Structure 1
Amino acid sequence: MKPTLPAIRATLTQLRTLDAVARLGGVGKAAAALHLAQPTVSTQLRELAAATDLQLFEPEGRGLRITADGERLWAAAREMFDVWRRFEEDQADVRGLRAGRLQVAAVTTTEYFLPELLGPFAQAYPGIDIELTVENRDAVVRRLREGVAELAVMMLPPTDLPLNRWPLMANPLVLVAPAGHPLAGRRSVPWSRLIAEPRLAREPGSGTRLATDQFLAHQGIDWQPRMALGSNEALKHAVAAGLGLAVLSRHTLGGDATGLVELKASGLPIRRHWQVVWRQDRRLSRAAQALLAAWRER
């Protein structure tokens, strides 16, 4: 007589909640990402812990830290998601491009232009559900590492993953100051004068922050940030308020640069590119291949 396997009482919804909380480090962030109320997320975690008889998380500061048991369950859930993703890709291949799902991850600055680049593809293939996740660089790298996202758009891809890369578009990084600043309008400002001003920057790990730090180090310039802010909009408002100068992607300025002026200095703008990257060791779905082809032809 064959032994009876224990029933699996965890639901797919609970496992996706576990994944979101583990990746984002808190119930609030997970609730926002999943478009759920925080009490709903907390309930799902409690029910999953009861179903598995495991302690999944421990309090850590204002967030949560996953336990060793939670890590094992999370790893198993990611394997299940990966199997299901491959099934969906196979089904999409069978149906052609009439149906399917495409997961794209992108760093936060791309929110100023990426929706416009995705628009024509979405209109051409209405049966393809596009899941665009916009997060900071560390989170995008994590999605690539875990195989959650097929394609990622970023400026500085990680060097420790087997990745294919394709340059999507230029990404000039410019130095901005508040309108009316004494240095505004000059043909070129010496760096010795610029570094006397407070420097504002994105949070550590941001692609713009990394690129700026690399540029300054290469130029032999020591200009440490006085303040770090977690979003481009917060950074723009802080500069406009006169709290300091900052290096930003020109894409963040768009047509709404009210209160900001671009300063000129040797080596500026910093020349970088947005890149589309994907794993070399994973097969791209037909939808991902079609999106790459569309971008190459634009």
Structure 2
Amino acid sequence: MKNATLRQLKVFEAVARHLSFSRAAEELHLTQPAVSTQVSKLEEHAGNALFEQFGKKVYLTAAGAELLAISRNIIGQFEAAEAAMTQFRGVTGGRLNVGVISAGDYFLPRVMVEFAGRNKGVTLNFTVHNRAGLLACIGENQTDLAIMVRPPTDMDTIAQPFAVHPYVIVAAADHPLAGKRKIPLARIMKEPFVSREKGSDTFHAMEDAFGENLPLLHLAMEIRSTETIKQAVIAGMGLGFLSAHTLSLELRTGSLTLLDVQGFPLMRNWYVVHRRTKRLPPVAQAFKDFLLADGEALIEKIVPITGPAH
């Protein structure tokens, strides 16, 4: 193992985390053959097969599982060294690593670009996850900051709200309820819904909104993609319960309409979250302060919300 490289360990860790060479290649911005080559070289150094493949599925061998824990520790040590050295560089020249749940990718890139414009030389890196994926990133120290709606209660983290986050009910522009005022919840309950998957932040918010009535709701379809849900609602497959911050374009073009439902919108918050023991690099601390000071105003500008339910 003395000739193994940090690059090989990082590639191996990505493949092991995804159990997929193609997804690791996509994450690392490499070709799949390049990923396979790096893993093969590491296997030569280790003198053991690290993965085995049955059909299209990839599995860690016992040797691979052992090396994975060691690799993560080595990578973590290098990242700690980088963070320590960054303390002496300040914000300029730092690398900002942020993870976000899928609803946040409608505004976060522009918020990060605004931050970079005020802090020259900052390198930006952000990843988009469902709730489970983002919690895994926090737990495995894969990101400096996480942007989410429901901070974890079973992890030792610091979570601070920085912007309101409304959830609304939307329909196709030609839906019979479009334009109606003060629609009773009982009337909405008669309609089919297209919803995000159970376990997502959006579904948790839906549980909060409908409470004991949720089991009575007609969930016509459960979809993991917000964009696909919007297209299904536009096509007339049902109503949608979504973050208002994902709907700016469709509301502007008129392809979707907000319904004026009694008790809505459901108001929640966006939180910036990090591990309590995490020593934030100066650029991450500066971005956190930036979100707390200016995040809400920027989000309102980037994804404006219009309609009777707002």
Contact 1:200/1:226, CA 8 A, preserved across alignment: yes
Q: Is 1:198 aligned to 2:225, yes or no?
A: no
Q: Is 1:280 aligned to 2:276, yes or no?
A: yes
Contact 2:191/2:218, CA 8 A, preserved across alignment: no
- In structure 1, C-alpha distance between the alignment counterparts of 2:117 and 2:61, rounded to whole Å: 43
1:16 to 10, 21, 41: 10
Contact 1:88/1:100, CA 8 A, preserved across alignment: no
Q: Which residue identity is paired with 1:289?
A: Q
1:109 to 97, 100, 103: 103
Equivalences for residues 103-182 of structure 1 within 5 A: 103-182=97-176
Give the 3 Å change call, closer, same or farther, for CA 156–82 of structure 1 in structure 2.
same
User: What TM-score, normalized to structure 2?
Assistant: 0.86
SS of the residue 1:69 aligns to: helix
- In structure 1, C-alpha distance between the alignment counterparts of 2:52 and 2:228, rounded to whole Å: 31
Give 1:46's aligned residue: 40
Q: Show CA shifts across 1:204-242 (max 9, x none).
A: 332112211233235565225332222211111111111
Give 2:210's aligned residue: 216
Q: Show CA shifts across 1:57-97 (max 9, x none).
A: 34477543334432322221111121111111121111223
- In structure 2, C-alpha distance between the alignment counterparts of 1:272 and 1:26, rounded to whole Å: 35
Which sits farther off after the overlay, 215-224 or 132-141?
A: 215-224
Q: Which residue identity is paired with 1:74?
A: L
User: What TM-score, normalized to structure 1?
Assistant: 0.89
Give the 3 Å change call, closer, same or farther, for CA 212–80 of structure 1 in structure 2.
same
- In structure 2, C-alpha distance between the alignment counterparts of 1:236 and 1:53, rounded to whole Å: 50
Give 2:305's aligned residue: none
Mark the runs of 5 or more structure 2 residues left unpaired by the alignment. 295-310
User: Which segments of structure 1 move beyond 6 Å, counting only runs of 4 or more?
Assistant: none
- In structure 2, C-alpha distance between the alignment counterparts of 1:264 and 1:87, rounded to whole Å: 53
Give 1:87's aligned residue: 81
- In structure 2, C-alpha distance between the alignment counterparts of 1:85 and 1:44, rounded to whole Å: 20
Q: Is 1:242 aligned to 2:236, yes or no?
A: yes
Q: Which residue identity is paired with 1:297?
A: A
- 1:292 CA displacement: 1.7
Contact 1:89/1:100, CA 8 A, preserved across alignment: no
Matched residue count: 292
Give the 3 Å change call, closer, same or farther, for CA 25–197 of structure 1 in structure 2.
farther
Give the 3 Å change call, closer, same or farther, for CA 221–228 of structure 1 in structure 2.
closer
SS of the residue 1:276 aligns to: strand
Mark the runs of 5 or more structure 1 residues left unpaired by the alignment. 1-6
- In structure 1, C-alpha distance between the alignment counterparts of 2:198 and 2:15, rounded to whole Å: 22
- 1:16 CA displacement: 1.6
Equivalences for residues 252-291 of structure 1 within 5 A: 252-257=246-251, 258-291=254-287
Give the 3 Å change call, closer, same or farther, for CA 43–154 of structure 1 in structure 2.
same
